[in-house]
Structure 1
Amino acid sequence: MSEAYGLIGHPLGHSMSPFLHKALFALGGKDASYRLLDLAPETMEQQVQDMTGYLGWNVTIPYKERIIPLLDRLDPSAARYNAVNCVRREPDGTLTGYNTDCTGFLHAVRDFSLGGRVLLLGCGGAGRMMATEAATAGAQLTIGVRNPEKPELTALAAHLRKAYPAAGVQLLPFGEISGDFDLLLNSTPVGMFPHTEGCPVPDAVIRRCGAVFDAIYNPEQTRLMELARQAGIPTVGGMDMLVQQAACAQEIWYGAQFSEADLAALTRQAQAQLARQEAHP
């Protein structure tokens, strides 16, 4: 009997996750299905409790934090960031939350300087993970957000300063970002399909950055990345991170193992699939 997995979030739009997981199931020799589960915010908790037929699922915006009270335990990978993007139903029916975003993120930025002067845009579930990894690497970290006075953000900054004293952490409104940076990390949804004209910061900020990582994967080239490339700044988009975290999720769900060559090939296939979708919406 085919096993059921899926992705919960709202809104989900044109997600690449079904394409990726179907390909990974084929590589892993697994008879399984993967569905998009767009859960309405007002009924999300009840809908998750009703997902008894699913052996696991991924979690995306806006539920990476909200799902935590519905789980029986957190793996250290999720507790570290207080954010969950992968859930496994254990044989006894209990639910464990994991965070596989970190695996994908570190793979995506492996050629960049994560321990230098880092500008992080946004600080939701994925942003907190990026902030933690940058602080772990000893970065001088500036976090650009809409409201730096939010208690959860000031608490995060205080925690990072205490836990990683070699790092520097400051919170700033988007409009007050200044200075030069070795690396810009975008964890906001600004510029994501279908609102591809958006860019989270002005061109003047982008031009003061040595490299850019945008966690958005649709479109493959966001406005942020286009402006960076026009200035001769190296960029990486979110597809590599998406593929790596999906492979990590399948390892958690049923013990799958994939080669780097297979995942690199899948990244290229996913980018080609995305281009076809954009050409024929």
Structure 2
Amino acid sequence: MSVEGTETLYAEVIGDPIAQSKSPAIHGFWLEKLGLRAEYRACHVRAEELEEYFALRRKDPRWRGCNVTMPHKQAVLPLLDRIDPLAERIGAVNTVTRGEDGTLTGYNTDAAGFLEPLRPLLERTHLFRMARVLGTGGAARAIVAALAAQNVVIVLAGRDPGKARALLDELDPGGEHHVAPLAHFSEPTDFAFDDRAGCFDLIVNASPLGMAGQPPLAFDFSHAPPGSVVYDIVTHPLDTEFLQAARAAGFVTLDGLTMLIGQAAEAFGKFFGAEPPRADGDAELRRLLTA
């Protein structure tokens, strides 16, 4: 876990494993574009090393903070001095910053990163907003919290509907949300959707299904209302079978890099006190990450 001595300010990403993380490439790209004298690194930290890691980093004035990836997003909570209200509500932290006095504050930028590409749509007035969210893991927590705050009615689908109901009741107890078994969406339906004019409909894969090494996500697009936006947070592969099928069925799609870059942009400002350069809509960065 050691870092070689240098006077350069730095931030990093921690996780177990960590080699697959795209965060160093994203933050490094922005730092170079802005000409900032700072670095962003990857640090492999195992569960039993978390406490020692933060004890060392809080003493280092060069350390601006870290992003936290699996499996530590919940384990870091008791090691921090302050937790942002949104992160506390979600129950997971993916960004930690160090104050000048060494205090550590935890944030969740996943929610903002997820919503970023949807904001132009959500700024409109709708008669009704509904999202079908597939998955009940850690990523789904941030997505459910983000959507509920935007007055979206959620249908949360998981292998265990009881777990889905508990998650909804915890994150938005007053919401009129629904649950369904994940298998419900794998078979065709002849449901006749009503007029969707003035409505916002979203389909989200918040599960690891479709990721390299995982089974594919079984979803029949007869369950998607006309005009739905289809969003897959999987980043490897980037163009999943789920997104390919959605495009073939005529739906607008958003891929996992969209959320990944969005949450990184939120964290970058907290670490380095500067807005990342995104005037080209992240086109050059996306080319770098997919090369």
Asked if TM exceeds 0.5, the reply is yes
Q: C-alpha displacement at 1:129, in angstroms?
A: 1.9
Could you give the per-residue CA deviations for residues 109-129 of structure 1, whole angstroms, max 9, x where no partner exists?
A: 235569622111123333112
Q: 1:200 to 1:61 in 2, by over 3 A?
A: farther
Q: 1:24 to 1:161 in 2, by over 3 A?
A: closer
1:50-129 alignment, distance < 5 Å? 50-52=56-58, 53=60, 54-112=63-121, 116-129=129-142
Equivalent-residue separation in structure 1 for 2:234 and 2:11 (angstroms): 23
The answer to whether the Cα contact below 8 Å between 2:93 and 2:106 also exists between their aligned partners in 1 is: yes
2:173 partner letter: K
- Give the equivalent residue in structure 2 for 1:279: none
1:20 partner letter: I
1:157 partner letter: L
Q: 2:173 aligns with which of 162, 173, 182?
A: 162
Greater alpha carbon shift after TM alignment, 95-104 vs 133-142:
133-142
Identity of aligned residues (%): 33
2:75 partner letter: R
Q: 1:244 aligns with which of 254, 257, 262?
A: 262
Equivalent-residue separation in structure 1 for 2:162 and 2:270 (angstroms): 37
Q: C-alpha displacement at 1:90, in angstroms?
A: 1.2
- Give the equivalent residue in structure 2 for 1:39: 45
TM-score, structure 1 length as denominator?
0.82
Equivalent-residue separation in structure 2 for 1:64 and 1:116 (angstroms): 29
Q: 1:13 to 1:266 in 2, by over 3 A?
A: farther
- Unaligned runs of at least 5 residues, structure 2: 1-6, 194-199
1:147 partner letter: D
- Give the equivalent residue in structure 2 for 1:186: 205
Q: Check if 1:171 corresponds to 2:167.
A: no
Report the structure number with the largest CA radius of gyration: 2
Q: 1:5 aligns with which of 4, 7, 11?
A: 11
Equivalent-residue separation in structure 1 for 2:158 and 2:273 (angstroms): 38
TM-score, structure 2 length as denominator?
0.80
Could you give the per-residue CA deviations for residues 28-54 of structure 1, whole angstroms, max 9, x where no partner exists?
A: 432122122232334444444444443
Greater alpha carbon shift after TM alignment, 202-211 vs 100-109:
202-211
Q: CA RMSD in A?
A: 2.7
1:237 partner letter: D
Q: 1:189 to 1:111 in 2, by over 3 A?
A: farther
Could you give the per-residue CA deviations for residues 68-121 of structure 1, whole angstroms, max 9, x where no partner exists?
A: 111111122312322211100111112100111222211122355696221111
Aligned length: 266
Runs of 4+ in structure 1 displaced over 6 angstroms?
178-181
Q: C-alpha displacement at 1:216, in angstroms?
A: 2.2
Q: Check if 1:134 corresponds to 2:147.
A: yes
